[in-house]
C-alpha cells in the first residue's frame, strides 16, 4: 500500500490547495476548528431543522455546499464512540 505522503494524488492535492489562497484558508479554518486533529471524522450529507410543534421547515444544511463537500468533527466528538 502506498503511504499517503508518497501518493502522487495526495501530493498533487496538497500542492493545489496550498497554491489557492481561498482553498488553503478554508482548509486551515476547518483544521483549526478540530484542534488540528490528525484523524477527524468527515461527515457527508444533509440535515433539516424542523419546528417540532408546527412541522415547519426552519432550515437545511448540505455538506455538498462546502469547499471539500464534507464537514469535519474531532474524533472524540462522536456520541456513538463509546457504544
- The size of the chain, in residues, is 83
Output 60 or 12, whichever has higher pLDDT.
60
Given a cut of 80, whether residue 30 has pLDDT beyond it is yes
In a domain, 61, yes or no: yes
How many domains are there within the chain?
1
In a domain, 38, yes or no: yes
Strand-pair partners of 57: 50
The phi and psi torsions of 47 (rounded to 5 degrees) equal -135, 155
The H or E element containing residue 59 is: strand 57-62
The predicted pLDDT at position 76 comes to 66
In a domain, 83, yes or no: no
In a domain, 82, yes or no: no
Q: Check: pTM over 0.85? Answer yes or no.
A: no
Task: Compute CA 55 distance to the chain's CA centroid, rounded to the nearest angstrom.
Answer: 29
Per the structure, the complete domain to which residue 35 belongs is given by: 4-77
pLDDT digits (tens, 9 = 90+) for 32-75: 888 888 788 888 999 999 999 999 999 999 999 887 788 888 87
Amino acid at each position: 500500500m502506498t503511504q499517503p505522503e508518497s501518493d502522487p494524488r495526495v501530493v498533487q492535492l496538497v500542492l493545489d490547495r496550498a497554491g489557492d489562497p481561498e482553498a488553503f484558508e478554508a482548509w486551515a479554518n476547518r483544521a483549526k476548528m478540530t484542534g488540528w486533529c490528525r484523524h477527524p471524522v468527515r461527515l457527508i450529507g444533509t440535515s433539516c431543522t424542523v419546528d417540532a410543534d408546527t412541522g415547519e421547515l426552519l432550515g437545511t444544511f448540505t455538506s455538498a455546499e462546502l469547499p471539500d463537500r464534507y464537514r469535519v468533527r474531532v474524533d472524540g466528538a462522536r456520541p456513538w464512540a463509546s457504544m
